[in-house]
Amino acid sequence: MSSMIERQAGVDADTFRDGMSRIPTVVTVVTVPVRTNDGSDGTSLPCGVTIGSFASLSLEPPLVSYNLTTNAAIHPLAVESEYFAVHVLADNQADLSDRFANPDLGADDQLNGLDITFDSNGVPLFRPYLVRFHCRRHSVQAGGDHSIITGLVEEIEESDGLPLLYYGRAYRSMKPL
């Protein structure tokens, strides 16, 4: 017999997280142009962040969205950057997800050792990836303690493989039924 979870009005953060952990999400890394700190020490700010909220938004025009917590170190750059890239990770790239999820790493450490190129807008692009979306910022909306960032998709690149998923607070791979 399965247990029933009662719907509660105004659930607390832990209950909400527990419920959301039961929804599989594709793991992506969003990158924005590299910037240095305020000039005082020359260190770089983060240029990428792991995201589990990437979604298709519109077909005409082709829009995608992702949500970013407002207290993320990359938040000011992400909401101000005119261009960004979304890298959908393959199921053998959990290490990249962990790297870009680390809030203590600046761009130098995030990009170290990766096969990196920069597009004409200065957005870092790494290889390999499963799918990569090149986007121009369309809008930014407030969403509680997150910002909802939408982008107009200007280019899509694809490669072979299966996506890296996150479910039950662990990385997973998609297997055919």
Q: pLDDT band for 132, please (50, 70, 90 cuts).
A: very high
Residue 2 included in any domain: no
- Residue 176, pLDDT > 70, answer yes
Distance CA 63, CA 153 (A): 6
Minimum mean pLDDT range among 7-21, 110-124, 144-158: 7-21
Long-range contacts of 70-77 (CB under 8 A, 24+ apart): 70/145, 70/146, 70/147, 71/145, 72/46, 72/103, 73/45, 73/46, 73/103, 74/32, 74/45, 74/46, 74/47, 74/48, 74/49, 75/147, 77/32, 77/33, 77/35, 77/45, 77/46, 77/47
Is 33:123 a contact under the CB 8 Å cutoff? yes
In a domain, 94, yes or no: yes
Question: Is 5 among the domain residues?
Answer: no
Domain housing 61 = 14-173
Residue 125 is inside which H or E element, if any? strand 124-127
Closest-CA residue to 88 (of 47, 51, 48): 51
Q: What DSSP line would sit under 75-107, residue for residue? A: HHHHHH-SEEEEEEPBTT-HHHHHHHH-TT--H
6 within some domain = no
Binned at pLDDT 50, 70 and 90, residue 10 comes out as confident
Nearest to 47 by CA among 27, 37, 33: 33
Asked if residue 8 is part of any domain, the answer here is no
Structure tokens at 37: 């700190």
Prediction pTM value:
0.90
**Cα(29)–Cα(129) distance, integer angstroms:** 10
18 within domain boundaries: yes
pLDDT tens digits, residue range 145-165?
A: 999 999 999 999 999 999 999
Q: State the residue for tokens 């998609």.
A: 174
Domain-embedded: residue 95: yes
Question: Which CATH number goes with the domain that contains 112?
Answer: 2.30.110.10
Total domain count, the chain: 1
Has residue 66 been placed in a domain? yes
